[in-house]
Amino acid sequence: YSNDSIRNVSAAKPPMFFIVLDLFGKCFGYKLLTLRLCVFLISMMTLILWYFLSKKLELRNLFDAFLMFIALPHLLILSFMVLTDSLTMFFLFLFLLFFIDYIKNNNRFSVLMSVIALALLLVTRQNLAVFIFPVFVYLAVQKKNSFDKKYLSLYALSLVPIIYCFFVWKGFLGPSF
């Protein structure tokens, strides 16, 4: 993708959904049914991530699972109408899955993967930048190891793609808005 394609995006969203849709279209065609299939596959992968996340959180009973699922009512229903939400939820669950793995197992690979997932989340839905603040607080306050505090700079790097879009668009919305 070039600066022009990002600069001229005609929606009030960062470009990740449109990049994924375009890559899917280049591989499988640009027919409406094919593009809807892309959204369906993303939604199904999101459900699979939801399952792994619920296992990672060690939900012990149906009530815990219900509380987690009720927070995401659009996952099954609206993901087919609000097309960008399924990709947003996918990257959110991916981030949470790897970040929780890092918290529980101190896995360095999970840190890198959660940073990448967070960066992709931010270029899918910019208002979810609020997720980076609890990460900063957790790494700065809860973790006593100085090595963990060095991860703060990695998580700060996850802001680079959305900051790039901010400067290209001269704000958080595309120029057509």
Query: Does the pLDDT of residue 173 top 50, yes or no?
Result: yes
The answer to whether 114 and 70 are in contact (CB under 8 A) is no
Q: How confident is the model at residue 83 (pLDDT cuts 50, 70, 90)?
A: low
Burial of 4 (0-12, 13-18, 19+ CB in 10 A): exposed
Rounded to the nearest 5°, which phi and psi values hold at 157? -65, -25
Q: How far is CA 51 from the centre of its chain?
A: 16
Residue 114's nearest CA partner among 64, 66, 148 is 148
Choice among 15-19, 64-68, 97-101 with the minimum mean pLDDT: 64-68
- Looking at residues 74-88, what average pLDDT do you find? 62
Q: pLDDT digits over 135-154, tens only?
A: 877 777 776 665 566 777 78
How far apart are the two ends of the chain, measured CA to CA in Å?
Answer: 21
- Looking at residues 62-77, what average pLDDT do you find? 58
Other C-beta atoms within 10 Å of 105: how many?
10
**Residue, of 39 and 174, whose pLDDT is higher:** 39
- Looking at residues 70-90, what average pLDDT do you find? 63
Query: Does the pLDDT of residue 117 top 90, yes or no?
Result: yes
pTM: 0.77
Query: Does the pLDDT of residue 74 top 70, yes or no?
Result: no
- CA-CA distance, 146 to 144, in Å (whole number)? 6
Per-residue model confidence (pLDDT) at position 2? 45
